Chains A and B, each alone.
Chain A
Amino acid sequence: MSKTLIRIGYASCGIAAGAKDVLAVVEKRMKKGSRRVELQKTGCIGICFDEPIVQIINEQGQWTYRKVDGKKMERIYDEHVLGGAPIYEWTVGELSTGGEVPDRPIFEHQQRIALRNTGIIDPESLDAYLEKQGYQALEKVLKEMDPDMVVKEIMDSGLRGRGGAGFPTGLKWSFCKKAAGDRKFIICNADEGDPGAFMDRNLLEGDPHSVLEGMMIAANTIGASEGYIYCRAEYPLAIRRLKIAIGQARERGFIGKNIMGTEFSFDITLKEGAGAFVCGEETALIASIEGERGMPRIRPPFPAEAGLWGKPTNNNNVETYANIPWIILNGAREFQKFGIKSSRGTKVFSLAGKINRGGLVEVPMGTPLRKIIFEIGGGIPKDRRFKAVQLGGPSGGCIPTQLLDTPVDYESITATGAIMGSGGMVVMDENTCMVEVARYFLGFTQNESCGKCTFCRIGTLRMLEVLERITKGQGKETDIDELKELAELIRASSLCGLGQGAPNPVLTTLRYFENEYHAHIVDKKCPAGVCKELTTFVIDEEVCRACGLCKKACPSEAIEGKPGVKHVIVQDRCIKCGSCREVCPFDAVGTG
């Protein structure tokens, strides 16, 4: 029998779902001696909703097991790995196939460039990266291309920054390359502050070397020999794997002096963020690396001219860098083949919220939202109604059902009032209140405003107050106009994207869901049943089957009933959390 590879998804999501227990089982079994079995820990293969994931790969094919736990792993090991008999009821693929397991549509519409190695290689092994053409792009750049050729290649590829603003990467590099100065810096923005987004975390946990390689290519191109990675502190595993990768690269001479025997020398420092969303903004990030409070400053001068310690600095996002080696090796034209209009290549999105298959996907630019959410993401749990998808986080907006056919490209998304952002997609269903979502985001930006600009600091607070009033049932008819006016003022009078974008969640929900605002203000009702003051939950006697799930889920013991006896909610104990509605399999809980 040939060798069998056991691959365990070992990114934060896998570990959080219980991959440690699975790993322990495999390690224990392997100790008993089996030279034909090989164990590999990888990053996230993207189907986070099914974690822990285990793949069994041998000459006969590849099987992906979902939701594995210690017990399941024991059987998989004994029956499949040793016995050769896959346990089909636990695999991701369809039951019918004899050997190769077909992947669900989740992979069908995907195109992996940035994520080319994530979930496939062991992120803690430099050799694994080298086997996948790792550092060959750097070698090509150092030995066969001059910096102008590199800039041209990246420009021709059409790659635009994946951190949110979508600025053409080649152009940015050319500015920094031209900037006068003998000392220049490279920064990798791994702050990923957008709540609900985890593309960069997965990339760093799954394939850190590709990001390092991208940074080095940029460094050589613009003439920098020092780089910084600014990673948020909430990502301890990403930080650990980055440290390992940097150490390995240093050991093997990919980082250091005279790399690959050339003139190029480069070193990387890892900086941990300290929990401030605004530090994702590049000038604030630079201030933070310098050890200051992370306050943005006016641009120009742009960092390309005067950045870190006043020196020319090129800052790109994690995913932007991860694309670079692929473009260098495969050529701008190959990259151009994916995407539409002025948005070329692919984009990684993290799917989360009210969606069946949350996880990480990479699709060609221009893929319609509907395809991502319904075909790849599998739609909304419990067949509930889709209401909106939130793109772009606190500076973004909510895109409603009627715009689901919008292709994901920079211009089309902007036209909806949202922004492409960094790739977080949070799906909302009929039980999400759009006014409350707007309030949530304003609460976030208000809290994260650095305080430098008055309109951002105080204007967001005023907006938040209005929204809180509305969600509490104390809204006034003039509130909507007041929100719109404040939105305009904040947008116009803020220095950085945090303030400029802060009104977007309110403006987009007003644009597409104004009726929900009216329901709160005029009818004093929250149609989605979220705002506590405006909601009463009731169990429909006709529909209830007395299964007891709601009673079990209720945190305040407000539900009475026994098996066989219809359940009722005791209103004065109800805290309006909606847990009963969430768990009811028959949709018997409604709002009165």
Chain B
Amino acid sequence: MPEVLVRARGLTKQFGGFTAVDGIDFDLYRGEAFGFLGPNGAGKSSTMRMIGCVSPPSGGQLTILDSDPVRDGPAIRARLGVVPQEDTLDVELTVRENLLVYGRYFGLPKKVIRERADALLEFVQLTDRAHDKVEPLSGGMKRRLTIARSLINEPDILLLDEPSTGLDPQARHVVWDRLYGLKQRGVTLILTTHYMDEAEQLCDRLVVMDHATIVAAGTPRELIETYSTPEVLELRFTPDCHEQGAGKLRDLYPERIEATADRVMLYVSDGDEALKRVRGLGLEPSSSFARRSTLEDVFLHLTGRRLID
């Protein structure tokens, strides 16, 4: 049985009368990459801040590294690495200085900090920018620097709140590549995202959050098997036929259809075969596309909404 690093039972967070996290349960095991997938406002960051011991839980139980986050916050934080949703770099300092001052916060000896800083800059491919100010760096570079900074204390758990949001596709892939590297080294990761591809790529297990609660949990594979079908047939109709087409298909596949404003998705085991049957009904979609199910479909199935509008 792998070691449990974080255990939450009925974990709740309230701001005034508003409930941002409503009684969630989960366990984090050593060595895994665990994800919180959910749309804006689902309560992901609120959960991360409680795990990061910078926000007191309003209710329920939370145990981190066998300790109580309220009582032992500083000791727990000494063993965490944190990449917050919004960058908190000091833009007036240089890239390397950001790592040095952060290392001092952990009370590490200067020599150790310098060695680690150089190795980490190498790791996130920022060595040639070490002595530049942070301010003009690109969003992707800042994110990588924040990741490097979060590793200065060689944390037991790395918390990443939307590590690649706002980056262009290329920068995102560099970030994923680095995170994958960390995973290979056995670092335990918790990350939040509203990108299903990010969750699929990086997470061994994940929970889907919506409206402050966990609506599903499992490995990406399990979630897809449980809440979706092997394939999805996406159909588009010309605008005036959309309603009519969707209506007809709803009669045919009452439980396995999702219609959004611009397309109809049929959840089927074989997309090509399903398309033949659609045509057999005398419907002629303006375009059609059969693909494998993704976590996006899981989310759509669970909530009737798409993850990112």
Say whether A associates with B.
no
